[in-house]
Structure 1
Amino acid sequence: MTEHSKIQPPEKSLIERAEDFFGLGEAARPAPVPRDLAAPVNRRIKRRQSRKTQSLDTEQSLARAIARGMPPKEFGEHSAPATVEASADAEPAYEDVHFPGEIHELDPECLARHGLIQPDGPITALLEEFRIVKRQVLASVRKAREGGNGKLAQRVLVCSPLPGEGKSYCAANLALAMAAEKDSEVLLVDADFAKPSILSMLGLPRGPGFMDVLARDDIKVEDCVLATDVAGLHVLPAGNHTTSDSEYLTSARTADVLDRLTRANPNRIVIFDSSPALAASPAAELANHVGQAIVVARADRTGQSALEDALTLLSSCPDLKLLLNAAHFSPSGRRFGVYYGQEA
């Protein structure tokens, strides 16, 4: 017979021999992985509801209970609709300010000496020219309101690049012409704090004014306004000059005072006679608070570079206009005022 020897199994590795010796065997094998895993269970975090959300939930629950005919006591004896808190971003309400009733008469001699419009006088070329100017200003006011910029639309800044170019002359005449409007009133503000001239041009008495209101919290702006004998025309003096005029103009109180004057009365137009833009800084500061600015350029004096620099300083104003003063030549031969003096 053929002798068959026993075939020896292959030698085990050290790890396999250790499994046999310690009896690990099946326990050492990895656990089988199931084909389908169970869906994970997420733990919900209970968030604390705000007072406003709790009040809204209470109101909705109470409404559903009443609709189903359930007695209110099932929701607790103390459950009642809560008052919804006012929004923190709500715009403050401004009540209209009433100006003092004392009437101050304009001095006709002062008006004539400074070449201003005579309120009760005949129709002149000067009046006709400023009628055209005020139409452009009022058209811009309406356009700004339609564009949602009503906060600034009622404020008009009048200034010039340099002194002696007629900005106070134009501001006063514009205010006198606009006061004749039937649907609006005018507040002329002397904002040339260093060299105020509006009161002397109109023949009005001196008193506290705009800068005093900005510098002191105990002074109300309406108490400083002067009512005139021209219907619809009021004047706010410049007040006492300080060394911090620009700093007061950039304070939060300036915005509050101007909002108080204009927001409550949409028919009130505020005209600022400001200092020259290249001679003092208040004009550039006021440009942030107005809807349009009229830059007065004198035909025989204002240079192009000065005008460009002034427009750059006033660029924060959304609407800049140019007004040419002391122009004696008209290519078309236009002569306003003569027509009304002719007989039929």
Structure 2
Amino acid sequence: MTSVIDTTASGHDDPRKARRVSLVERAAQRLGGDAPQPELAGAGAAVAERPAPAAPPPPQQQHPHPHHHSPRPAPRPSPAADAVSHGGPAGGGRVDIDLDRLQAGGMVTPRGERSSIAEEFRMIKRPLLQAAFTYRPGQVRKENLIMVTSALPSEGKSFTAVNLAMSIAKERDVHVLLVDADLSRPNVGAMLGISAERGLTDLLEDPSLSVPDVLMRTNVPNLSIILAGKPHPMGTELLASQRATAIIREMAERYKDRVIIFDSAPTLVSAEGTALSPHVGQVLLIVEAERTTELEVKGALDVLHACENVQLVLNKVRTRFGVHSKGVYDGYYYYG
């Protein structure tokens, strides 16, 4: 189940800091009583952690698209080329996602199935989409760039990013690009059962590459993906580079109907999130019920200070309303 709460606060010199303190305090109150608790979900919380999910069944043998391994001899598109209608030779093209496997693992698919997790992500995406397409002509567009992160590993950020992308892909008039920007420990490809020879690290390192060379279309009509590529020990420096700034700006401004979701590294174990956050207009901070402490949440919010629009999503919580799906996580609470 998803719950949106007002985060306005007063009595602080810094309104942005006041908003974030209020956000943490109200989340603590929602889960642990009238006063903030050391843990976001205390012993008296109305929601409880569900055991960690089992890994989805291994993907079936996939039949690659006939053009995936047979690149055309045409010259590479320029950075201004249409990233949807052109594919690169070793990272672009098309991949087929095993939607049966995702559905069996309790994840959102574009098939329109009714489940508690599908409804939760419908509620999570609505304010994000409203903000993504509310901007004034002439302003730098960033609100359609959404970063999904967490304070610590294994809190469900990649699970959230993939499900959010799948949910947005159901929209009639919106295209979504899912980017695995966790360059230290990429996980999107494994979660979706897909791979590519090239990814974001290659794009950031090699000035001869352009977005179409690493962007992959999928069998989900409104969904494209850029995987991380090979793990890189200097991911922070790549994401902080001028080339990263130019590429991300191009992604944001070229396609008016596109939302870009970045699955980023956990903020308290990697500086990659700090490097990426100035580029985006919205951040979802994933918090695991009964595990992530209030101190860790506040530390993550401090790291993300470059983005003013940071929202908490509490996951692995049990809901009291609705029918549970076969989902990996019981439920989400959204603190906007």
The interval holding the TM-score normalised by the smaller chain is 0.5 to 0.7
The change in CA–CA distance for 1:318 and 1:148 in structure 2 (over 3 A counts) is: farther
CA distance in 2 between partners of 1:195 and 1:126 (Å): 25
CA deviation after TM superposition for structure 1 residue 123, in Å: 1.4
Matched, 1:288 2:278: yes
**Contact conserved, 1:97 with 1:261, CA < 8 A, in 2?**
no
CA deviation after TM superposition for structure 1 residue 218, in Å: 1.2
Matched, 1:263 2:240: no
2:96 matched residue in structure 1: 105
CA distance in 2 between partners of 1:221 and 1:269 (Å): 15
2:109 matched residue in structure 1: 118
**Contact conserved, 2:148 with 2:161, CA < 8 A, in 1?**
yes
2:121 matched residue in structure 1: 130
Larger Rg computed on CA atoms: 1
SS of the equivalent of 2:148 reads strand
Q: Runs ≥4 in structure 1, deviation > 4 angstroms?
A: 93-96, 147-150, 334-337
TM-score w.r.t. the length of structure 1 is 0.66
Q: How big is each residue's C-alpha offset from its partner over 1:33-81, in whole Å with a ceiling of 9 and x where there is no partner?
A: xxxxxxxxxxxxxxxxxxxxxxxxxxxxxxxxxxxxxxxxxxxxxxxxx
CA deviation after TM superposition for structure 1 residue 167, in Å: 0.4
Matched, 1:140 2:126: no
The change in CA–CA distance for 1:147 and 1:118 in structure 2 (over 3 A counts) is: same
2:334 matched residue in structure 1: none
293, 301, 304: which one pairs with 1:314?
A: 304
2:53 matched residue in structure 1: none
Task: Please give the root-mean-square deviation of Cα atoms over the aligned residues, in Å.
Answer: 2.2
CA distance in 2 between partners of 1:105 and 1:187 (Å): 15
2:157 matched residue in structure 1: 167
CA deviation after TM superposition for structure 1 residue 94, in Å: 5.5
Gaps of 5+ in 1: 1-92, 338-344
Matched, 1:176 2:162: no
**Contact conserved, 1:162 with 1:278, CA < 8 A, in 2?**
yes
The change in CA–CA distance for 1:94 and 1:103 in structure 2 (over 3 A counts) is: closer
CA distance in 2 between partners of 1:251 and 1:199 (Å): 24
**Contact conserved, 2:82 with 2:212, CA < 8 A, in 1?**
no
The structure with the largest helix share of the pair is 1
**Contact conserved, 2:81 with 2:212, CA < 8 A, in 1?**
no
Matches within 5 A, 1:213-232: 213-232=203-222
**Contact conserved, 1:161 with 1:310, CA < 8 A, in 2?**
yes
**Contact conserved, 1:100 with 1:226, CA < 8 A, in 2?**
no
2:61 matched residue in structure 1: none
299, 305, 308: which one pairs with 2:295?
A: 305
SS of the equivalent of 1:152 reads coil
Aligned length: 243
Report percent identity of matched pairs.
Answer: 32
The change in CA–CA distance for 1:236 and 1:310 in structure 2 (over 3 A counts) is: same
CA distance in 1 between partners of 2:169 and 2:203 (Å): 24
TM-score w.r.t. the length of structure 2 is 0.68
The change in CA–CA distance for 1:122 and 1:329 in structure 2 (over 3 A counts) is: closer
CA deviation after TM superposition for structure 1 residue 249, in Å: 1.2
**Contact conserved, 1:189 with 1:273, CA < 8 A, in 2?**
yes
